[in-house]
Chain A
């Protein structure tokens, strides 16, 4: 991983990084406009948002602006956070994903780009809502069972457009190999996740 990213799915635990801690902080922002709760979230997520945009090719100052902008959106949209659907990191990722398209776009016309809903996709079966939060843990468990090279391409896909040849170059792999590695990783992930909840894996 070029020493830049720790192994996906392996971090976690520790009382302060407990996933529910951050959920409660976002709820405190939504309910009480709690600036202290916001500052704790900022200290955790802003450096990660900055790192993420820099891995996408942004300069440090631009990545600072981006982190600020994304955290401001966390403050403004906190009421939309629903911990039964997603954990804090996932919800903040979606905010950042939606903002990044604007931050990195090549044209400067202010036309909107379609966004992924912060309320999550509409459940089409009643069970889906119950499953949504459990899904988060299953996604992380599934990631852990991928091969290291598959984890690497998935991580890289979250930084840069892997359908472009430069990324293949930075991995020193042919573009076709990168694409097939992504496909294999995603098919494995689908296989792992399409198992019904409670089905022993």
Chain B
């Protein structure tokens, strides 16, 4: 099977419609920041949303809603909170707006840190750095896992994924990405549930690896 390296049509549509979960939206926004053509397509899908809004059967609002809204027009706009400290200037813009947790060791040349972005149930956003030539333990996913490569490249049975590439993996995929760039491969991942590490090495590692 050839890798798509970009989001599926239904996931792009969900992002355009605003139904994608917040953690998945963070990974999607990172991908779009690195792929202007796809961002333009999402812009076109806004026009589809405009048409949906224009043609929907209207639901009458409360009688006093206009009066209440007019009365609140002069209330000052809530101040946007200042951007939190973020020590990785190399990250694409959507990720610069979040604080980052400390790097944690998860194996030789393998590190992970939390992106303090909104969670959705068990789904959250992490940064993963895998050293050159390293293979992550074979693992499978409980839920859907979205990955966007920020720098470096990795390879799976599905193909090679480089900067800006996007991968969707579901519970069926037994995943064994290997870093094929000379630099470490840095990815942002929306992770749903715990990753299960397969095989005896994985079972040995599992108690120590909090992914």
Contact = CB atoms under 8 A, between A and B. Distances in A.
Interface of A: 4-12, 35, 38-39, 42-43, 45-52, 54-56, 60-61, 63-64, 67-68, 71-72, 75-76, 86-87, 89-94, 96-98, 100-101, 105-107, 109-114, 116, 120-122, 124, 128, 132, 135-136, 139-140, 143, 154-155, 157-163, 179, 182-183, 186-187, 189-190, 193
Contact of A11 (B19, B55, B60, B77): B55
A119 to B, nearest CB: 10
Main secondary structure of the interface of A (DSSP, over half): helix
B3 to A, nearest CB: 16
Nearest to B144: A163
Interface of B: 8-14, 16-22, 25-26, 28-29, 36-37, 39-44, 46-62, 65-66, 68-70, 72-73, 77, 81, 94, 97-98, 116-121, 144
Contact of A158 (B41, B52, B59, B61): B52
Contacts of A61: 62
Nearest to A155: B52
Contacts of B58: 47-48, 50-51
Given A67-B61, A158-B48, 9 more contacts: A39-B66, A50-B59, A89-B53, A97-B17, A97-B49, A121-B36, A121-B40, A140-B47, A190-B41
A154 B56 contact: no
A1 to B, nearest CB: 9
B48 A139 contact: yes
Contact of A186 (B12, B43, B73): B12
25 contacts: A8-B55, A39-B66, A39-B70, A47-B59, A50-B60, A50-B61, A56-B19, A60-B59, A67-B65, A72-B72, A87-B50, A89-B53, A90-B46, A92-B50, A97-B46, A112-B118, A113-B118, A120-B43, A140-B47, A140-B51, A159-B17, A161-B20, A162-B10, A163-B10, A186-B12
